[in-house]
């Protein structure tokens, strides 16, 4: 390969956006190992992951299964993926106005895209529906134990929020609500009325490609169930 066609030289001349995914990974991988060139390893990495979105869900052990990646390089790639997730997660103003479910989905999708378990978040809002804080309250299965009113509204009261939105993810990517989701939403609405915190919505976070409706989320508010 002519030196000016190598990924590092191309990046220097043209910038990182000019490089293909495999070339970027080739730079991250470096010299390669175990009889595999960096180019071979980068192509194998992309082929085994299937997509960058799927690779974003990988952990260190997943990278280690790619031939030519040792434990140290696998850990470096896992760290790079985590940094990318954190950049997406924090690329928002804390005072964003969250007045539609798509805004909630956009805010939480970076947090949920790599998760293999269900997690629940409370988004505490002021009277103008602007975000005060996002707090993770539980991890497990979306039952009354995951979305217990005590844990959900404790955060709203802690931050003096007059309103809140509850959200949790479906690792399958299909945000269609289960019977447990529906039951716990009714509990949360009633509990919010008792303590004086308005539950504006309960949004289930999924992925558009797995959603029968093609959106990537389900909103109880949008569906008229709150």
Half-sphere exposure of 97 (CA within 13 A, CB side): 3
Which residue spans of the chain are classified as CATH 1.10.150.20? Answer: 3-89
Can you give the pLDDT at residue 213? 93
The predicted model scores a pTM of 0.63
Tens of pLDDT, residue by residue over 129-167, are 999 989 888 877 544 456 778 888 988 998 899 999 999
CA angle 193, 181, 215 (to 5 degrees): 105
Which CATH superfamily hosts domain 93-219?
Answer: Cytidine Deaminase, domain 2 (3.40.140.10)
Task: State which H helix or E strand residue 144 sits in.
Answer: none
3 state SS of 33: strand
List CB contacts of 215: < 8 A, sequence separation 6 or more. Answer: 102, 105, 175, 208
Low-confidence ranges of the chain (pLDDT < 70): 1-4, 32-34, 88-94, 141-146
Can you give the pLDDT at residue 173? 92
Report whether 226 contacts 192 (CB < 8 A).
Answer: no
Which residue spans of the chain are classified as CATH 3.40.140.10? Answer: 93-219
Closest Cα partner for 114 from 66, 176, 51, 72? 51
Can you give the pLDDT at residue 93? 57
Can you give the pLDDT at residue 45? 92
What CATH architecture is 3-89?
A: Orthogonal Bundle (1.10)
Can you give the pLDDT at residue 142? 46
């Amino acid at each position: 390969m002519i030196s000016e066609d190598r990924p590092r030289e191309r990046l220097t001349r043209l910038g990182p956006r000019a490089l293909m995914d495999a070339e970027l990974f080739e730079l991250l991988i470096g010299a390669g190992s175990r009889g595999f060139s960096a180019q071979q390893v980068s192509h194998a990495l992309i082929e085994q992951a299937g997509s960058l979105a799927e690779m974003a869900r990988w952990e260190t052990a997943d990278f280690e299964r790619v031939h030519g990646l040792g434990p140290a390089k696998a850990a470096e790639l896992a760290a790079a993926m985590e940094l990318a997730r954190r950049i997406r997660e924090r690329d928002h103003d804390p005072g964003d106005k969250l007045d539609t479910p798509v805004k909630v989905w956009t805010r939480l999708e970076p947090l949920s895209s790599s998760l293999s378990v269900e997690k629940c978040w409370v988004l505490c809002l002021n009277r103008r529906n602007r975000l005060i804080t996002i707090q993770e309250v539980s991890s497990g299965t979306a039952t009354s134990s995951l979305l217990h009113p005590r844990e959900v509204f404790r955060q709203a009261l802690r931050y003096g929020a007059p309103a809140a939105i509850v959200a949790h993810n479906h690792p399958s990517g299909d945000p269609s609500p289960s019977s447990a989701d529906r039951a716990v939403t009714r509990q949360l609405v009633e509990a919010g009325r008792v303590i004086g915190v308005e539950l504006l919505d309960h949004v289930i976070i999924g992925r558009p490609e797995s959603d029968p409706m093609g959106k990537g989320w389900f909103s109880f508010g949008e569906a008229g169930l709150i």
